[in-house]
Amino acid sequence: MVFFASVPPATVRVANRAGEAAMSIEEEFRARTRATWAAGDWEGFSKLIAPVGQLVIERADIEPGTSVLDVGTGSGGNIAIPAAQRGAEVVGVDVTPELLVTARAHSLAAGVEVEWIEADAQDLPFPDASFDRVISTFGAMFAPDHARAAAELVRVCAPGGRILMTTWVNDGFAGELFKLSGSFMPPPPLGVEPPPLWGVEAHIEDVFRAAGASPLVVRETVDFEFSSVEHAVRTYSDDFGPFVIARRVLEPQGRWDEFVAAFADLVRRFDTSTDGRARIQSAYFLISIGR
């Protein structure tokens, strides 16, 4: 939930040898995003948002034969594979191919067929009106051009179909984590719209209305359960890709301990437990669009 663009350019930049073109802003951002989510253990961490996937699957009204596109599928366990288990014809796309390797293994183990494709949310490689359901849980919100990503979700959704998207609310736990990370890490490249804008309802309405769609935005919450505040901090530090990258940047600067302490304070601020455990309540928007 930190800026993908926080990955320092030196981590991903390819040397510009004679005759080679420099990476475009989009290419560099895509490379940074891939490096971020390839770090850590997203497979384990994604289980924290499994309740969101369950809610979205229920709201999507998926039946056998429904064509489903899962944008930003990750390792596939929250939307793509459950949709396939309901008999849907599913395609899962993600910008990070390392995650798709895990997704393929999971779909084989589950005995379901899913087509896994490396693709960018703002440049989906499908014809217009290709899918009955277009779903993105905390995926398309990280594309650098928000209007373009929204337009792509609308474009590939068939008439009579439905788009469902989740984004982190700006004043919730994840939104505050964006702000905390932004105060420690390098800013995104020029021309990249920050993900927290998707946590503002007016922005959501603007980008989808520009694409000719009228979104219904509902505020929901999900609880992240840990045995203690210390366990939450340790799990984020060891397993969450953006934190793994942040540590590589901040430890040499002597600022990692400061960041971790600030994060622990943030966890305590949103902890609703009363039994010594940590139950972090995080607000998100569920965006629904009928076509």
Selection from 14-23, 41-50, 140-149 with the highest mean pLDDT: 140-149
Instruction: List the single range of 5-9, 27-31, 130-134 with lowest mean pLDDT.
Output: 5-9
Instruction: List the single range of 45-49, 62-66, 225-229, 254-258 with lowest mean pLDDT.
Output: 45-49
Return mean pLDDT, the chain: 91
Q: What is the share, in percent, of the chain residues with pLDDT greater than 90? A: 81
Q: What is the pLDDT of residue 13?
A: 35
Is the per-residue pLDDT at 135 higher than 50? yes
Torsion of CA 69, 284, 25, 35, to 10 degrees: -80
Residue (of 189, 272, 156) closest to 23 by Cα position = 189
Is the per-residue pLDDT at 276 higher than 70? yes
What are the tens digits of pLDDT across the range 224-264?
999 999 999 999 999 999 999 999 999 999 999 999 999 99
Q: What is the pLDDT of residue 25?
A: 67
Paired residues of 221 in beta bridges: 283
- For β-strands 278-290 and 157-168, DSSP reports them as antiparallel
Q: Region 278-287: what's the mean pLDDT?
A: 98
Encode 144-182: b = buried (16+ Cβ within 10 Å), e = exposed: bbbbbbbbbbbbbbeeebbbbbbbbbbebbbbbbbebbb
- What is the domain range of residue 166? 4-14+23-290
Residue (of 39, 79, 21) closest to 246 by Cα position = 39
∠169-236-244 over CA atoms, to 5°? 105
Please report which confidence band the pLDDT of residue 7 belongs to, taking 50, 70 and 90 as the band edges.
very low
What are the tens digits of pLDDT across the range 201-212?
999 999 999 999
Residues in the chain: 291
Helix (H/G/I), strand (E/B), else coil: 70: strand
Domain CATH for 213: 3.40.50.150
**Cα–Cα distances in Å, from 143 out to 87, 91, 140, 158?**
29, 19, 6, 22
Determine if the pTM surpasses 0.85: yes
What is the count of structural domains for the chain? 1
Is the per-residue pLDDT at 181 higher than 90? yes
Rounded Cα distance between 231 and 165, Å, is 30
Neighbours of 69 (CB within 10 A): 30
Biggest CA-to-CA distance, the chain: 62
What are the tens digits of pLDDT across the range 81-109?
999 999 999 999 999 999 999 999 999 99
